[in-house]
Every structure is written in structure tokens, then in C-alpha cells.
Structure 1
Amino acid sequence: MPPTIRAAPWILLIAGFLLFIAGFMVNTMWAKITWTPTLLLAGLGIASLMLAVVASRLFRCRLATSAAIVWLFGLTYFAGIAAVLSVAMITIAAIAVGSCFVEEDRNARLPLSILAGLAVLCGVTGWLLPFPVHGHAAYVLVLLLIVVFRRRAVVNALRPLRESWSDAVAGAPRVAALAVLVMGVVSTCAWVPTIHYDDLAYHLGLPYQLQGLGYYRMDAGSRVWALSAWAGDVLQGIVQVIAGVESRGAVDTLWLVLTATLMWSLGGALNLSSMMRWFAVAIYASVPLTADTLTGMQTEGATAAIAVGVALLIQQALAPSRRLLVLLALLFGLLLGLKVSNLMIAGPLGLWLLWQWRWRFPWRALPLAVLTVFLVGGSSYLYAYLLANNPVLPIFNNFFHSVYYPPVSFHDLHWDTGFHWNILWQLVFHTTNYIEGGYNDGVAGFALIALLGSLLIALFRRDTRAMALVATAAFLLPLTQIQYLRYAEPAMALLMPVMLSGVPLVDWRRLRARTVPMLLVALVLVDLAYAANANWQMRNGVLQDLLADGQSAVIAKYAPTRVMAKFIRVAYGEQARTLMLDDRSPFAAELAGNAFVTNWYDLELSTLASGANGDVSGAKWAAVFDRSGADLITLATDMHTQALDAAIEKTGGVKVRTEDKIELWELHRGKPGTVVPIAPYGVNITFDTSAAPATSTIAHADLTFGCVAKDVPIVISWKLTREDKSSWQRSEWINCNPAGTAGISLDQPIAGKLEGMTITASPATPVDLHLQSTATNAWFGADLSYDRDLALQWRSNIVTRVKAWNQQRLQARKAKR
């Protein structure tokens, strides 16, 4: 072989780094580092290293092992022990299920079993979302039964873990420690509470509805994305129901660990040395976008793990089999269940699989594989089509014409910057144009330029060419449709091992020991310097505020709407109806379908609110209030207009709380009731319900009593009677306060026409408290939550049809007699 050809890998590697250095200097990239949060991350990294060194000497373990334990403690403290234990439980259950589909001698059996198990658990849960079967006890019982039933399989899957870890670290202990420390530094993003825009406006809806209602409303009328692919949110929901608290950080970290583990194995399948495999993990973890996957509930972290798992199975090039095809189908199903745009990642992987197995494909097992893909990832698409007439709502609505979105295909024109020949250069050095948040240059990481030459070598090597082509296609295909970097991020987990596969071809000899590892370490450290640019949270010092003041202070400072939402749940109950008027912060998701917004997420209310400020009488805003059925509204302090203020006054608005720049108002647009004393010391209150809607109703009532403060509670008995004479009843106690008053409110949905409402109030024991009603108010509006509860309506239709079918069957049997 000519010397020039033998030296080509080395020349291309150096050329890539020189190009990276040139771009760094020309674009003055050092000026785009946000130093304060970056230095904080560096300090945390150094502190963890010092602790890990001490722990490794005390317990006589490898530095990578002690560093992993240090960062695990950090995650547990900040993300919460309940969240971490909940993730551990579902992971063990996933091993129990997934190990059924993964052969015992397969490389990376443990992470592949976890992925397969999560696919099954998320797939089954996805189909059960509209049914009221979701609860802490049910989830824990099912998972425990699975683990107990498959306990031997779990033990067998976990038994090699310690030895495998020791062998992996022993192959390159220093680089292994570097990779673990980088993952630990990045995992600090998982400590931060959930404050992302999309999470507060949409993603939190499913977990909170499962936790609070026991089912998912599928309320596309209130959140247009409610029926889009939901596998990621389903996993978040399962973990949150088990833990009883939000568990986003722990779930995101699980995906990162799975990605890193599978990347290690993929590097082995590409014949990388232990050092290069650890470098692949370290470089991927150091890419700022990887940190971004840990700050929210988006699906890119999960997508990366699954894509690497599929690539590993194909690259291993084992003999095709029915079992392996089903395993791949599980992973493809989970991939599509996360996001429809994952087709652009699944497509290249699927074509590669067909090419690898072209003459040996088990065609007889293909129908089973297709069915498996559908069962795992198809629930959201089928429910969306059945309930909203668009399986990918709001995308392609110009074709499907769902009533929940205008008849156009959703497309964010902001990211139509064009797919040009220099797209990689632009992504690396001018990243701000390709991701939201501003001041994000460098977020793509610099490996795309620095290791570009090594990628070219991988494309020319026969044993890595297919993997290199697939990784490149998976990265570039999403960018051809929309120039939004986050959608291409999962493919970086495929690119890093294949890029490094071009490096070992060089005959380094003396250079091998120092130069190339030093270049890669420098690349990792430079990437980490831009981790704080990954999103506004890190750049604005959220982590620093978290360490100084705690989670509650962070939420109050950066997401005051969440503080208001918590106050509404505690002070007014889970059934209170809230209308959020600030289109800049449509953060209604955590109120579990009982809050509404007026931005484009809600087509009906946004249409009603359009131009409402032009009606100075306030009639249009009042109509929006009435249609929402809300007795609470929130608005920003800078939103007051003559029209809005007139509507608030017209509906009896009273401001009750201000949080940061957010105001909470009660609406008292009801009428007083008729009060009649009853023996011996009580009162009876009756409200006129003739104005109640003909369909579902939300009843709002506020009662205030005068009384004498004694150690005797007041028993309040509610009775709401429907048109069919059935009734809803509840009794509760309140106490007379020292000021001589007692108050209580009710927000109660009633299915069907409301015919009567009666309340009795009397002392719990026959003691004269001088009880008298001083103020009564009740209003009956259309229950928009019920009207938009597509799951409840779908279940009701099923029950009605079953009853009708059964009645016809009985009549037919009777006629035969």
C-alpha cells in the first residue's frame, strides 16, 4: 500500500482538528462561552473527582466506579429518592419482561432487555390510557408480580453486571473515569425541576392525569398535541404514578445511561478498542445537546438509546431469526411510539436491516413483526384517528381535516433556513439559527467537524461503511425537512462510535500513547465548556439557584405559573376550572385537563378570544369565560385592558393572589340561594338550577356562614340531582374560625342535565352555634372538561353499544321462544 494511502487516516484526522481550530478562531467561539455556569459545572466536576478519589482509596475500587456512585448520590438527592426508586422498579420489571426476547448469550443483553421491556410496558399502557385502571397500587402490584414471576431471569440478567463493568473499566481505566465524570457533570441537568415551555404546556398533562384521574382524557380540544405519539410521556406517567411525584430527571438519566451502555457495545461491534469505546461515550455525553435532553420531557434522549440498540443488533450481523426479528420490531415500535418524525431515523436503520438480511430474511415472521410494531407504537396513532380523525394531529391536517386544528399542516416556518452544502459548518459554529433559546452557538458540539475526516475513513472501510452511511443518513434526513438541530441529535449517538472507528487505522506507534488521546480529551473539555449554552436554564443560572435555594425557589423564580397551579390545587381542589389568559405562558398541563388556554393550542377558545380586546364592553371576554366554565382566571399584570377589566367586573371578579407577575382572580357570576332554617340548629340552602346547561354541567358554589367558634365542626351535606332523578351526594366538615365565620366552596362536574341543588349545614352535635348563612352564590356552566374528555365519551359510547347489542340479543332470544 502506498505511504500516502496508509497515512490518509492520520492526515484526515489532523485535517479535521485543524478545520475545527480554524472555525473556532474565525468565529471567535471563546467569546460565546457563558462563563459563570460553565465554571460552576467545572467546580462540580472537580469536587466529584476529589470525592471519587477518596472513595476509590477507601473502598479499593476503580475511580470510574467511585465516580459513578458519587453522581448517583447526587441524582438521588436532587431528583428525589422516590423518583430514583420508582425508575429502579420499572427498570427491573423491564428486565423481567424484555429478557424473554433477548438470547442469553447476546452481547449487551441487559440494556437490550431493558429497552425491550420498556417497549412492552409502554405499549400495553398506551392502549390502556383511556381506561380508569391507572393507579399507584395497580402499577406496583403488576410490576411486583412480573418481577416475582420472572425473578430467575432477572437474577441471570443482572449476575454478569459486576464482572462486565469491571472488565470494561479495566480496559481503559483513565478514559472510563473521564467518561463517567462527564456523564456525571451532564447529569446535573436532571437535577433541575421541570420548567421547560413544552413540558408545562403539554408533556406534563399525561402524567398528571394518570396520577390524578386514573386515566388519560385525550383532550385534543384543550391541547392540540394531546394525541400525538406518547410513549415517552407514558413512561414518565408510569414512574410518576409509582413515585407519587414528578420523576423527569430520573427517567431522563435512565435514557442517558442506556445510550452510553449501548454505545459501548456498539463500539465493540465496530472493533473499537476499550479506550476508543470510552471516548465515544465521553464525546457523546459532552455534546451540549446531550445535556439538553436531561432538562425536559422531549424524546431525543430516548430516541438515541433505541436507535443505538437497533444499530447494535444489526451491526452484530448474527443469523436472522424469528426471535431477533420480534426484538427488533419491539424497538422499532418504541421508536415510532416516541415521535412520528423518528421515521427518518427508523428508515435508514430499516433499510440497513433489509440489506443485511436480504437473502435470509425470515419473511414468514414478517406479519408478526409488523403486528408487534403496531402493538408497541401504534396506540397514539389509532386513538388519534378514531377520536380526532387525524393520526398525526396536528401534522397533515390539510389532508385529515380534524376539527381540533385549522385545515393546514402544522409546520414551524422559523426553522426553514434551508439545507445547504455547508450545513455542518453552520450547525457547529452558527447553532443559534438552528435551535431555540438564542446565544446557542457551539451547542452541536465540535466533533462533527473535528472527526469529519475519521467519518470519511469509516465510509471507505468495508466493515464500517454500512453503519457510517446509516448514521450519516439518520443525522441529515431530519435536517432536510426542517433545519432544527434537536431532531438530528439522537443520530449523534450513532455517529460518535463510527467516527472513532476511522481513527484506529492509523499506525500511531509513539503517537498512539499521547497525541490522539490528548486531542480527544481536549475535544471533550471544549464541548463541556459549551454545555451551559444548551438551553436557557443552564445559561441563566438555574443550577446555581438550585444549589443555593432549592427546587421551590427555582420554580418560583423561573416558572411562577407552577406555583399558582399548585395553589389552585390545594386551595380550590382538583375540580376547580381555570382559564389561563396569557398566551405567552399556556402552562395548563399539570392541572390535568381542568385548565384552559387561549393560545393556538386550543382552537375554539383562541378563536373566541381573538379580537376580544376590541370589544370595550367586555362581552367577548365574558363569552370566553362562560364557554370555558371557569371560576378562576389567571393573567399577567401587563395584560389589563379596558375590555378585559370590563369582563372581569361583569363576572364578579375578585383578585385573590399575585405570584411574581401573575394574578389569580375568582369569578362570582352566580346567583344567591334560598336559605331556610331547619331544626334544631341548621340551615337548608336551595339553588335555582333552571339556567343550567342541557348537557354536562359544572356546578360552582361558594357558601359563607356566621357562627360561634366552638370545638364542634359544622357538617355540610351537598346534594346535586340530575334530570333522571339520580343524584351526587357528599358530606364534609368545616370549622368555625375565631372571627365567627366559616366558608366552603364546591366545584363539581355533573354528567347530564342538572335539575336541583340542595345543601344542608348543621352542627356535628346538637349544639347551638348560632349558625346562619351570610352569603351564598352558585353558578352552573357548561362543563368544557367533560365535553373535551374524548376518552370518557369513547368509553361511554362503547358501553352504550354493548348495552344495545345485549338488549337486541335478549329480544331476539325472547322472540324465538
Structure 2
Amino acid sequence: MTVERTPSTRMDFAVATAGVLLCAVGFALNRMWNELPWERLALSLCLAAMAAILAWPVRRLLRWSWATALAVAWSVALVVFVGVVPLLAAALLGIASLAIGSWRLPDDVPARTAVATAIGLVVIGGLNGWLLSWPIHVAPLWYVVLLGVVALRRKSLLASLAGLRGNIGAAIAGAPRWAAFAVTLAGLASTACWLPTMQVDDLAYHMGLPSQLLLHGRYVPDPSHQIWAFAPWLGDNLQGIAAVLARQDARGAMNALWLLLSFALAGALARRLGGGDTGRWIAVALVASFPPLVWMAAGMQTELAATALLFALLATVLSGSRHWVLPAAVLFAGLLGLKTMHALSALPLLAYGAWRHRDGLAWRQLPVALGACLLLGGSSFVLAWWHTGNPVLPLFNDVFQSPYYPPRAYSDVRWFSGFGAHLPWAMTFDTPRYVEAFRGGIGFSTLALSGVWLLALLRPAHRGVAIATTAVVVLPMVPLQYVRYTYPGMLLLAVVLVPCGRLALGRRGATWVFAGLCMLNLAFQANSGWLHHSAALKRTIRALGDESQVFPHYVPERMLLRAIPADDDGIVLTTVPDRNYTAELGGRGRGVLEHDPTLHAARAAAEADASGAGWRTLFDLSGARWVLVVPAQASPALQRALADVSARRVGAIGDAELWRLPDDAKDASR
């Protein structure tokens, strides 16, 4: 049957497709085909084909849907490359979180199981934030605590999980093709979890907390050598708990849990807002194909966890219950515990919730909600203030005057290009100006869905949530134009626009637009960062996840650190500012980047001293026994200093070398 379009629906269709045309024009004008990472796209398509081949016999023999069979195939791959033990550790943490978070959570919250798990993770990580410096972080104790929670809440757990399988089956049956497509894209996104930890900030900072818990059973922040030591730590805290449970790095497994929560919540939000089962899977596909998602899942930055918590916060706001305030406060505390910018961007959702529930707002719950927020999200701020005098060290140190950082406002001049209406276009086609990525690395959803966004603002049914989520995207970009901080908001806005887009575009139009957008985003997925732009995934697959065969190509320092005797507790000094890959040493690493203002200044002086005396002084100042050197970047002053103290080269891998300083290095230099 042919459906005739009225003038109103034709206008809606025209407005909705205007964003697609705008994106196409920008793509052509900027010759974006020259930026396509063809080799990595081919690898993604090959992996998708292999998953389908593996899923086919499962589907035939067990008569499962394509989506279910594909999910099994990708899950098996996750086990192979991430490992059974880390996945079991993350699963236990997730189940215990569900047991905690399901307590008093309203029944009508979309994706209640996922929301409850997110809340539980915040509770566990938030409370543990106050205990990080206590020497109690050992696997047996954590197993007793988490298994005890599961046992105590077993009835609630069973009730939460009872209808889950049936609900998933019904969702797949409602849109089987879209479900299979979305699961394939989700599986491709999960390949980022296969990669070993190699991103710069992770090796220089984020691995520090989990490594200290693993090695010492406690976390001892040292702001004199790491100015971010007291920065909001919920994400690294949870990574550390998973690592302690697994007795090894569990980043891939923990990120797989965050991905799963994000996908479940995205689909539930789209369906609750009127997208139906098809809209559910479109939302999952949009999130899974968002290029920066693989960058987020390959590292330990906060944006992946923030995405899941932000989705859960909106799901809580959309609840019809007047008891939404406390769960929302817990989730907001989680965002605060991840990064202050995430909390700032979430404020519009709280405002939308207050407006939406204005007739039945439970005012008596507000003091309890505020207390919960401070308890679960405030540990890093309180302890930072107590130990350093600055609750947000090193930020705003011109105000707080902490002795651990110069009395000036911390800022990164790279990301102050100017706020304005041009940003969606500029960020899409001139991406490196706004984040460490290649052109097209943030995908094309912002431009392609701009017409749908305009319609959502004009339609009363979608206006409120559209305004709130737009503010979530815009707020982080006002103080500085660094697009990474707005990744969670960009994903949330894309999900919210799905129902409006389906109505405006019609069934066939929505299929072409959303499927095409997902494929375009997938094509540019590797442009989200250097790691995915390299052959790292290919090498990981060839090595079946053996990181020792991958590190030498990208971060040889991680292999050199393994050459240090296990019983050696000496300080390791890195001599290249942007290669301070020593956080895994659990407090024994020293770097000359600005994370350590004293050594950073000492390096500047040492480089200006051709005699090598400055570097010899720096060796003494750092207390180093081991030195990591990149010969191609080693100045004559550094080389002379190593020779003067009779340092011995222990090993060389790739472009890096490990040197051993003699115990009497200070005397040897005289």
C-alpha cells in the first residue's frame, strides 16, 4: 500500500534530510574520501564477515536469530582476546553492582537492569574512594564483600534477571534485521577491548591507581610527582577493583561492561521516547558506530563510563515515579566522581527532570540526595583539599595556591579556538583542531542529524528532552573547545533524535539515512585516534592477544620495564616528556612532563646545559636507578650525562633503551 505524504509530512521529510544534504556537501567540499582509512575499513568488514560465518552454523543448528548467534560469536572472540579471568572479575563486579543498585529503584525505569548496575558501580566505587589509601585491597577480601552482597540480595537479583532473556528476544523479534546490524556494529566496537593498554594518558597516569592496588594493596597519591594524583578517580578506582579481582590488568573486561551498559541503555531510551523496537536497534547501531567509541573502549579515560552513566541518568529522569531523585543523585555523583566536566554537562538533565516532575517533586528526598551525592562523588575532592589545599588540583591553582603546582590557572592552549555556531561543521571536517584525532574522527552524526534536531526542537513531544540533551552537548564546549569532553553528550543526543527521525523520514527513509550514517561512521572509525589508525588491531589478532608481540611496535618501554628484576624497587626515570610510560610501576615512575613540575623545570635547565651537569643533577633529584631513553630524541647533554656517570645500557627494543645507573652515580660524575 502506498502512503501519501501530506504537506506537513513532506516538510518534515525535507527538514530531516537537510542535515544529510549538509553533511554530503561538507564531505565533498573537504574531499573527505582522501581521509578514509581504507585498510582498517577492510579489516572491519572482514571481521564482520568472519563473525557472520561463525554465527551461521549456530543459527542453523539452534534455530537462533541472527542477532543472538552474532552476539555469541563476538562474545567468544572477547573471551579469546580479553581473557576468561578478567571477564569473570568484571562480571562479578557487575552482578554485585546490580544487586546493590536494584534496591529501591523504581520499576518503570527504562532498562532497569542496566540502570541498577550503573548505580551499583557508582556506590561501590564511590564508597571505596574513601578507602583507597587503606591497605585492604586484596582479592580475597573483595571476593568476600562482593559475593556476600550477591548472596544477601539473591532474590532481588533473580527477580531483576528473570524476564531479561524474554525481553531481549522480543526486542530482536520486533526488528530482526536492525538487531543483527546493530549487534555486528557493537561487536566491531568491542574489538577495542581486545587491544592491550597503549594510550599515552593511560601509561602516564591512569594505570597508576590500579597498579598500586595490585602491587601494594593501597593507593598512595603523590602530587609532588603526579599533579593529577587526586583528580576524580571513580573510573580508575573501578578499574583497580576489577584488576585486584583478576590479579591482572582488566581494562578490556571493564570497558566491555561499560559498552554493554551503554548499548542496553541507548536502545531502551530510544524505545521509551517512542522509537519502537526498530528505533531501539537504530540507537544501538548509532552508538556502536560512533568513531570515538573505539578510542574510548581502548583506553582508561572517563568518557566511556560517563556515557553509560549519562544514559542511565536520563533513563531515571524518564521514570514516571516520584522517587527518581535519589537514583539520579547517585548517578550524578558518579559523573562528578569521573570528572567535574561530566557533572557540569549533566546539570541540564537534572533541570529537565525537575521540570518534568514539577508537580510531584519529592522535596523531602533532596537533602538525602545531596548527602548521597557528596558521599559517593566527593572523596577525591575532599582528600585533595585536605592533602594539597586545592580540591581540584591542578585546576584553579591561581585561586587555591597549592604548593604542589605553580600559582596559576592550569590550561591547555591548544583547545581555545573559540566557541560559536561554526563548531559542528569545523569539528567534523577539521577534527585535529579540537581533539587528538584525524579528520572525520568524530563521525558525521552531528551534521547528518541536524535537520532532525531542528524538527525535535519544533515538536512539543520531543522539545523538552531535545533542549536538555542539546545543552549537555554544548556546555562542555563553552569554556574550552575540546570535543572529547562532549563525546557522551553527542551520543546521548543522537539516541534522543532517533524517534523523531523515524517519524519524519518514514520507514524506508529512516532505513537509508540511519543505516547509511552508521556505515559512514564505521568507515571513519579508525580516524578517532592514532591507535586505531595504526596496525595495532591487526597485530593483536595475529598474536591472539599476546601483548608482548604488540608492545615493541608502539610502546617498547612497557617491554623494557619487564627487564627490571622483580625484586628491584628502584625509581625509573623517563627522559622524553610525551613518553612517560611508567604508571604501571605503582609509584616508582618519574617523568619530565609537566605532571611533575619540579622535574619538568629541571629538564628544561638540563637541556640548556651542554656539560651534562644539569642531567646529572636531575638523576640525583629524581632518585633514579633506571633511565628510559629514546636515542633519536636524546640530546648531547643527556648522552654526556649518561657517559659521565658510567651508566650501563641494559636493553633496547624498538626506538627505546633502558639504562642502569650505578649505585654511586653521584660520586662517579665528579
Contact 1:287/1:443, CA 8 A, preserved across alignment: no
Residue 526 (structure 1) shift: 1.2
State the structure with bigger RCO (CA 8 A, min sep 6), 1 or 2: 2
Identity of aligned residues (%): 35
Partner of 1:490: 488
Residue 617 (structure 1) shift: 4.1
TM-score after normalising by structure 2: 0.95
Partner of 2:516: 522
Contact 2:303/2:488, CA 8 A, preserved across alignment: yes
Partner Cα distance (2:414, 2:38) in 1: 29
My pick for the range that moved more, 125-134 or 607-616, is: 607-616
Residue 70 (structure 1) shift: 0.6
Whether 1:141 and 2:141 are equivalent positions in the alignment is no
1:698-742 deviation digits (Å, cap 9, x = unpaired): xxxxxxxxxxxxxxxxxxxxxxxxxxxxxxxxxxxxxxxxxxxxx
Partner of 1:749: none
My pick for the range that moved more, 31-40 or 649-658, is: 649-658
Structure 2: which amino acid aligns with 1:601? H
1:643-722 equivalent positions in 2, closer than 5 A: 643-670=637-664
Structure number with greater Rg is 1
Partner of 2:322: 320
Partner of 2:475: 477
Partner of 1:559: 555
CA change 1:516–1:325 in 2 (3 A) is closer
Whether 1:626 and 2:626 are equivalent positions in the alignment is no
Structure 2: which amino acid aligns with 1:627? L
Contact 1:458/1:498, CA 8 A, preserved across alignment: no
Partner Cα distance (1:241, 1:442) in 2: 38
Partner Cα distance (1:502, 1:104) in 2: 26
Partner Cα distance (1:598, 1:507) in 2: 55
Whether 1:261 and 2:264 are equivalent positions in the alignment is yes
Partner of 2:213: 210
1:754-805 deviation digits (Å, cap 9, x = unpaired): xxxxxxxxxxxxxxxxxxxxxxxx99xxxxxxxxxxxxxxxxxxxxxxxxxx
Structure 2: which amino acid aligns with 1:5? S
Partner Cα distance (1:346, 1:106) in 2: 18
Partner of 2:444: 446
Residue 40 (structure 1) shift: 0.5
Residue 113 (structure 1) shift: 1.1
Partner Cα distance (1:302, 1:272) in 2: 25
* 1:488 aligned counterpart, secondary structure: helix
* 1:272 aligned counterpart, secondary structure: helix
Residue 480 (structure 1) shift: 1.7
Aligned residues: 662
Partner of 1:608: 602
Residue 24 (structure 1) shift: 1.7
Contact 1:206/1:216, CA 8 A, preserved across alignment: yes
Partner of 2:23: 20
Q: Which has the higher strand share?
A: 1
Contact 1:454/1:501, CA 8 A, preserved across alignment: no
Partner of 1:57: 60
Partner of 1:684: none
Structure 2: which amino acid aligns with 1:389? G
Residue 627 (structure 1) shift: 2.1
Partner of 1:700: none
* 2:628 aligned counterpart, secondary structure: strand
Whether 1:287 and 2:306 are equivalent positions in the alignment is no
CA change 1:553–1:465 in 2 (3 A) is same
1:199-222 deviation digits (Å, cap 9, x = unpaired): 000000000000001111111111
Partner Cα distance (2:244, 2:43) in 1: 33
Partner of 1:368: 368
1:322-367 deviation digits (Å, cap 9, x = unpaired): xx32111110100110001113322111211222233432222211
Partner Cα distance (2:95, 2:431) in 1: 39
Whether 1:403 and 2:436 are equivalent positions in the alignment is no
Contact 1:259/1:493, CA 8 A, preserved across alignment: no
* 1:631 aligned counterpart, secondary structure: strand
Partner Cα distance (1:146, 1:65) in 2: 30
Partner Cα distance (2:153, 2:137) in 1: 23
Whether 1:248 and 2:242 are equivalent positions in the alignment is no
Partner of 2:344: 344
CA change 1:344–1:640 in 2 (3 A) is closer
Contact 2:108/2:321, CA 8 A, preserved across alignment: no
CA change 1:525–1:613 in 2 (3 A) is closer
Whether 1:128 and 2:131 are equivalent positions in the alignment is yes
Partner of 1:332: 332
Partner of 1:67: 70
Contact 1:95/1:154, CA 8 A, preserved across alignment: yes
Residue 574 (structure 1) shift: 5.2
CA change 1:608–1:142 in 2 (3 A) is same
Whether 1:583 and 2:586 are equivalent positions in the alignment is no
- RMSD of aligned residue pairs (Cα, Å): 1.9
1:525-564 equivalent positions in 2, closer than 5 A: 525-549=519-543, 550-564=546-560
Residue 268 (structure 1) shift: 2.0
Partner of 1:88: 91
* 1:273 aligned counterpart, secondary structure: helix
1:551-586 deviation digits (Å, cap 9, x = unpaired): 211111111111112222xx1525222222222311
1:294-335 deviation digits (Å, cap 9, x = unpaired): 11101111111111111112123x1423xx321111101001
Residue 501 (structure 1) shift: 2.2
Of the three residues 216, 228, 231, the one matched with 1:228 is 231
Residue 106 (structure 1) shift: 4.0
* 1:501 aligned counterpart, secondary structure: helix
Contact 1:222/1:593, CA 8 A, preserved across alignment: no
Residue 637 (structure 1) shift: 1.3
1:272-305 deviation digits (Å, cap 9, x = unpaired): 1211221111012111012211111011111111
Partner Cα distance (1:518, 1:648) in 2: 63
Structure 2: which amino acid aligns with 1:178? F
* 2:561 aligned counterpart, secondary structure: helix
TM-score after normalising by structure 1: 0.78
Residue 406 (structure 1) shift: 1.5
Partner of 2:388: 388
CA change 1:15–1:401 in 2 (3 A) is same
1:392-420 deviation digits (Å, cap 9, x = unpaired): 11111111111222111111111111122
Structure 1, unmatched stretches of 5+, are: 672-690, 692-777, 780-817
